[in-house]
Amino acid sequence: MTEHRYRRRVQFADTDMAGIVHFSKYLCFVEEAEHALWRAAGLSIVPPGGEISFPRVAASLEFHAPLHFEEEFEVLIKIAERTRRSIRYTTQITRGETKIATGTHTAVCVRKSPAPMKAIPIPDEIVERLS
């Protein structure tokens, strides 16, 4: 599983005083889509009692059109590149045929303890399920 389509509706709490989605919410939508991709692959990005984590080390979004309260939209997330220790995603947010935002983000596999966190190879099970 290397891509996933995540559908959502704009909630009132996502918007600013003008009824337009606040720019900071778009990264939340992207993260929701990433987690949905992992769930669709039978995984959790943060399994209970897990010893690893996937912190973000880079994120970039470009905005093309606004979203408004109660509009339905879709987030298409794809794994664009995987190295031994990281995953780079591309994302496109659309409302019907209208492109809303595009971007990328990168997460690195780390061992959480002992501190400090340290980058480690992505476990084989995760690599297999996200291939």
- The per-residue pLDDT for range 38-89, each reduced to its tens digit, is 999 999 998 888 899 999 999 999 999 999 999 999 999 999 999 999 999 9
Predicted confidence (pLDDT) per residue in 53-64, tens digit: 999 999 999 999
**If we measure between CA atoms, which residue out of 62, 42, 43, 65 comes closest to residue 54?**
43
Catalogue all structural domains in the chain, each as residue range(s) with its CATH number.
Answer: 3-129 (3.10.129.10)
The pLDDT of residue 99 is above 90: yes
Single out the residue of 87, 81, 89 nearest to residue 29, CA to CA.
89
User: Would you give the distance in Å from CA 81 to the centre of its chain?
Assistant: 14
